[in-house]
């Protein structure tokens, strides 16, 4: 299982970097344009992904945050992109350095509301990777709505076909 989680964490970073590369090539107004989605813009979706990856990593490290990491973020969309990339790198590094036995341990943390939860480490990692995949799909849909149609595949199988063969 640890090898699969390591692969998923590396895939997550690879896929996020592909999306980030596209977003870096677009004008700020497109990234901030209000659209119908879970979050009102591509930029807000990126910040949500950053928040989620950061919160889950902190929980895995034994910290329960009381607010969203981006709560006081006032930068541009382009300044938000490295936040997501760095959060994905941190999760990848965490998973790559975790001991096999540790992934079966339980992680206890408190939600923002103060409710305590206990969840297996491997389930948290899997959730985090799945959560980012979901929101990358939303970003692709928003990009298509903005008539951006030349998009790289971020499918897991595309990762296997390209990244895995190169390394």
Q: Which residue has the higher pLDDT, 97 or 164?
A: 97
pLDDT tens per residue, range 53-76: 999 999 999 999 999 999 999 999
User: What is the pLDDT, as a whole number, of residue 52?
Assistant: 97
Name 84's Cβ contacts closer than 8 Å, sequence gap at least 6.
16, 20, 46, 47, 49, 50, 53
The answer regarding whether domain 2-166 maps to CATH 1.20.120.450 reads yes
Q: Considering the entire predicted model, what is its pTM? A: 0.93
Closest of 41, 17, 21, 38 to residue 29, by C-alpha:
41
Q: What is the mean pLDDT of the chain?
A: 94
The yes-or-no verdict on residue 38 having pLDDT over 90 is no
Q: How far is CA 153 from CA 29, 71, 131, 148, in A?
A: 24, 31, 17, 13
3 state DSSP class of 26: coil
pLDDT tens per residue, range 86-125: 999 999 999 999 877 889 999 999 999 999 999 999 999 9
User: What is the pLDDT, as a whole number, of residue 167?
Assistant: 65
Q: Where are the domains of the chain?
A: 2-166
């Amino acid at each position: 299982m640890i090898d699969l989680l390591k692969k998923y964490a590396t895939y997550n970073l690879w896929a996020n970097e592909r999306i980030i590369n596209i977003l870096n090539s677009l004008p700020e107004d497109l990234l901030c344009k209000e659209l119908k989605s879970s979050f009102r813009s591509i930029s807000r979706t990126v910040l949500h992904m950053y928040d989620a990856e950061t919160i889950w990593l902190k929980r895995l490290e034994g910290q329960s945050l009381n607010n969203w990491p981006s709560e006081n973020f006032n930068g541009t969309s382009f300044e938000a992109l490295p936040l997501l990339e760095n959060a994905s790198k941190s999760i990848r590094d965490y998973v790559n350095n975790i001991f096999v036995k540790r992934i079966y341990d339980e992680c206890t943390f408190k939600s923002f509301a103060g409710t305590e939860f206990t969840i297996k480490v491997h389930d948290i990692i899997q959730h985090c990777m799945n959560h980012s995949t979901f929101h990358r799909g939303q970003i692709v849909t928003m990009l298509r709505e903005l008539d951006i149609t030349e998009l790289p595949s971020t499918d897991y199988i595309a990762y296997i076909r390209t990244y895995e063969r190169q390394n």
